Structure 1
């Protein structure tokens, strides 16, 4: 496994539409493993391929120890409902945080590392993390959705809630 370098804004790849994955092989599996190691190393809850310099529709989300790492390959949002407002940050914007409004529920269709299709429903923070990563695959950055930027003190106050 290898930890990759995080691409930071204003790198152009972060604002590009990514290409769908066509080949599901050992190389893809290694890439997903490397993405996981990179996400953990930089203390993230998700990572999208453009954040390591690859314009492919690949992302991972891992919000806690209770839920297995979610591998999102060629993900599509099927349905969203409700609304939630909460703090977000991004490994490609070190030290920058803001309040973002997102749906409270999402249903997606994606493929796993073997190319098998699956659907997944998520709510609350998991829905937020999945939608943040899917945005990356379409060149959409969280900064375009921030309603208010947060400083470290405000962020700590929100995390305590």
Structure 2
């Protein structure tokens, strides 16, 4: 049996929760997603760490969610990502039933994580380290059914942990 076949049955990803896209110009990206693709702007957010920041916009259409992200300084995580990989998909958020156990299982398989598991009101999240081959990072996320958007405290904690680790 090939190794990938034996591994896939033990992990239980439920769906893609959202896709985060690193952009150079957030207002232009919002206009494109709204006016051309027909997505609704759900929420805008500004996050500041110790040294850098990020602005973002949550866009949704028929349950499909994108989070558009722009760095506010050249040294910010998103700006550094764009400098290294160009604009585009920065992370894919996979919905899981148990973030802690999924992090444990993936860690045992060799995946590294840039954040601890962050728990907020109705939302649990963790971010993997970036794959230098694809440029992707994976977010593992569990939402309580009543939690539609993001929890400000979670976003702030995740941003601060990523900033402290030097991850982008």
Query: Whose Rg is larger?
Result: 2
TM over 0.5: no
TM-score (norm 1): 0.30
TM-score (norm 2): 0.29
